[in-house]
Structure 1
């Protein structure tokens, strides 16, 4: 099945080629120590579909994907630690909030409502 923005299926990494790894991913101009992402790409027609696989403490936390050259993610999904599967996909970028205590970064929170999970820095 060809991927389009409308499909919004969680990408199968076997269909993609590894592109690069980034460590201490930056969010709102703040690097998050320990948040690592592996990026994969796949040509679709004359475009490139990119998926980021994000990990914290060695465990996958979420995936986000969309088209190279567009400013934001098209879709995302959160890893459900209870099932090992995914919650989603959901349109747009993941819901990520930095956790601070009057300045210092304490960690981050992903998702909202019943899907919200906190990840604390050591």
Structure 2
């Protein structure tokens, strides 16, 4: 998939493995988070791509290999709808709660420039 900023994995070369609504991210179920996972065989390994939407807006894509513990690379889609350049490793995300024991209230992903994006809005990273 080519954008004006980066080249992302070409999903036409992958097959959809599964889709999840109210998907888990790092072991926490997130209401409103939709995830789609794609696989393809690549030289005896399974290449994978995960695409994530929150509140109806695509937020991130992460990719690597099934036999690796963490993402090899990831890219965040900005509030303007354009992809930021990919970064090495998994994206920086946070599951939002009003207090630690409260139900999940949101999902945010950090851009390479340090802004947090969720549901089409951006906000600077709080100090500290």
Instruction: Tell me the TM-score range normalised by the shorter chain.
Output: 0.7 to 0.9
* 2:107 counterpart residue number: 108
- Taking structure 1 as the reference length, what is the TM-score of the superposition? 0.80
**Following superposition, which runs of at least 4 residues in structure 1 exceed 3 angstroms of deviation?**
112-115
Within 5 Å, give how 1:65-80 maps onto structure 2: 65-80=63-78
Q: How far off its partner does 1:28 sit?
A: 4.2
Residue 22 of structure 2 contacts residue 31 of structure 2 at CA under 8 Å; is this kept in 1? yes
Q: Distance between the aligned counterparts of 2:89 and 2:9, measured in 1?
A: 15
Which 5+ residue runs of structure 2 have no aligned equivalent? 1-6, 121-128
Q: How far off its partner does 1:68 sit?
A: 0.9
* 1:91 counterpart residue number: 88
Q: Distance between the aligned counterparts of 1:10 and 1:75, measured in 2?
A: 10
Q: Distance between the aligned counterparts of 2:119 and 2:71, measured in 1?
A: 21
Q: How far off its partner does 1:23 sit?
A: 2.0
Give the count of matched residue pairs: 112
Indicate the RMSD between aligned Cα atoms, in angstroms. Answer: 2.1
Q: How far off its partner does 1:69 sit?
A: 2.0
- Taking structure 2 as the reference length, what is the TM-score of the superposition? 0.76
Give the secondary structure class of the aligned counterpart of 1:14: helix
Per-residue CA deviations over 1:9-43 (Å, capped at 9, x if unaligned) read 52011121111112222234321011011111122
Per-residue CA deviations over 1:66-104 (Å, capped at 9, x if unaligned) read 10121111110011231x221121111110112121232
Which 5+ residue runs of structure 1 have no aligned equivalent? 1-8
